[in-house]
Structure 1
Amino acid sequence: MTTAAPLRIPATVMRGGSSKGVFFRLEDLPEAAQRPGAARDRLLQRVIGSPDAYGTQIDGLGGATSSTSKCVILAPSTRPGHDADYLYGQVAIERDLVDWSGNCGNLSAAAGAFAVHAGYVAPDRLPHDGVCTVRLWQANIGKTILVQVPVAGGQVRESGDFVLDGVAFPAAEIVLEFLDPAADDGAMFPTGNLVDELEVPGVGRLQATLISAGIPTVFVEAAAVGCRGTELRETINGDPAALARFEAIRVAGALRMGLIDSPEEALLRQHTPKIVFVAPPADYTSSSGRRVHAAEIDLLARALSMGRLHHAMMGTAAVAIATAAAVPGTLVNRAAGGGPRERLCFGHPAGLLRVGAQVRAEAGRWLVTRAVMSRSARILMEGWVRVPADSF
Structure 2
Amino acid sequence: MTQSGTRGVIYRGGTSKALLVRTSDLPSQHRDELGQWLLAAYGSPDPRQIDGIGGADPLTSKFGFVGPSTHPDADVDYTFAQVGINDSRVDWSIMCGNILSAIGPYAIDEGLVPAVEPFTVVRIHNTNTGKVVTARVEVSGGRPRTAGNVHIDGVPGGGSPIFLDFRHAAGAKTGKLLPTGNRRDVAQLPGVGPVEYSVVDIAGMQVFVKASAFGLTGAEDPVAYGKLAEAGRQIEFLRCKVAVDLGFATSIESAKKESPITPFGIIVGPPREWLLYGTRELRSADSCDLVARCVIDGGMHKAFPGTGAIPTAIAAALEGTVVHDVTRVAAHRTGTYAIGHPSGTLTVDVALGDSDAGVEVRQASLVRTARRLFEGTVFVEPSRLSWTPARPSTAEPGGPHGN
In the superposition, the TM-score normalised over structure 1's length comes to 0.93
Distance across 2 between alignment mates of 1:269 and 1:59: 27
Offset at 1:243? 2.3
In structure 2, relative to structure 1, the CA distance for the partners of 1:377 and 1:13 (3 Å cut) is: same
Cα distance in structure 2, aligned partners of 1:42 and 1:118: 26
Given the alignment, which residue of 333, 340, 351 partners 1:340?
333
Query: In the alignment, does 2:250 pair up with 1:275?
Result: no
Deviation at 1:78, TM superposition (A): 1.8
Q: CA deviation at 1:169?
A: 2.4
- Aligned residue in 2 for 1:329: 320
Match of 2:38 in 1: 44
Q: For the structure 1 residues 7 and 97, does the alpha-carbon distance in structure 2 shift closer, same or farther, using more than 3 Å as the test?
A: same
Q: Aligned-residue CA RMSD in angstroms?
A: 1.6
Equivalences for 1:145-184 in 2 at 5 Å? 145-183=133-171
- Farther off after superposition, 333-342 or 273-282: 333-342
Local SS of the residue matching 1:282: coil
Task: Give the equivalent residue in structure 2 for 1:295.
Answer: 286
Aligned to 1:230: 219
Which of 13, 16, 26 is the aligned partner of 2:13?
Answer: 16
Q: Percent identity?
A: 34
One of 29, 54, 57 as aligned partner of 1:62: 54
Q: Shift of residue 364 of structure 1?
A: 6.3
Which residue of the partner structure matches residue 354 of structure 1?
Answer: 347
For 1:373, the equivalent position in structure 2 comes to: 366
- Distance across 1 between alignment mates of 2:208 and 2:287: 22
Matched letter for residue 250 of structure 1: R
Alpha-carbon deviation of 1:213? 1.3
Equivalents in 1 of 2:93, 2:302: separation in Å? Answer: 21
Shift of 1:103: 1.0
* CA-CA distance at 1:298 after TM superposition: 0.9
Give the SS at the match of 1:108: helix
| Superimposed CA distance per residue, residues 327-377 of structure 1 (whole angstroms, 9 cap, x where no aligned partner) | 111111111145333321121111111102222233363232441001011
Residue 150 of structure 1: how far off its partner (Å): 1.2
1:386, distance to aligned residue in structure 2 (A): 0.5
- The one-letter amino acid paired with 2:307 is T
CA contact 1:97–1:268 (8 Å) conserved in 2: no
Partner of 1:112: 104
Name the SS for the 1:179 alignment partner.
coil
Query: Structure 1 runs of 4+ off > 6 angstroms?
Result: none
The amino acid across from 1:190 in the alignment is: P
Specify the code of the residue in structure 2 equivalent to 1:93.
Answer: I
8 Å contact from structure 1 (residues 343, 356) kept in 2: yes
Once residues 78 and 189 of structure 1 are traced to their aligned partners in structure 2, the CA distance between those partners, rounded to angstroms, is 28
1:24-82, CA deviations, whole angstroms, 9 ceiling, x for partnerless residues? 0011112xx2232x101001111111122xx1111111111111111101111122232
CA distance in 2, matches of 1:257, 1:226: 27
For 1:177-208, what per-residue CA distance to the aligned partner results, in whole angstroms no more than 9, with x for missing partners? 11322216752111111110012234432000
Paired letter, 2:128? N
Report SS of the residue matched to 2:81: strand
Deviates more, 1:246-255 or 1:130-139: 246-255
Q: Over residues 311-338 of structure 1, what are the superposed CA-to-partner deviations in whole Å (9 max), with x where a residue is unaligned?
A: 1100000011111112111111111145
Whole-Å Cα distance in 2 between the matches of residues 376 and 64 of structure 1? 22
Answering whether residue 310 of structure 2 is matched by residue 319 of structure 1, we say yes
Q: Distance in 2 between matches of 1:315 and 1:103?
A: 9
TM-aligned CA distance change 1:221 to 1:239, over 3 Å: same
Counterpart contact for 2:333–2:350, Cα < 8 Å? no
State the distance in 2 between where 1:306 and 1:113 align. 30
Distance in 1, Cα, partners of 2:23 & 2:185:
41
1:139 aligns with 2:131: no
Whether contact under 8 Å (1:198, 1:253) holds in the other structure is no
Q: Alpha carbons of 1:294 and 1:265: their partners in 2 closer, same or farther (altered >3 Å)?
A: closer
Alignment of 1:55-134 (within 5 A): 55-121=47-113, 123=114, 126-127=115-116, 129-134=117-122
TM-score, normalised with respect to structure 2: 0.90
Residue type of the partner of 1:296?
Answer: S
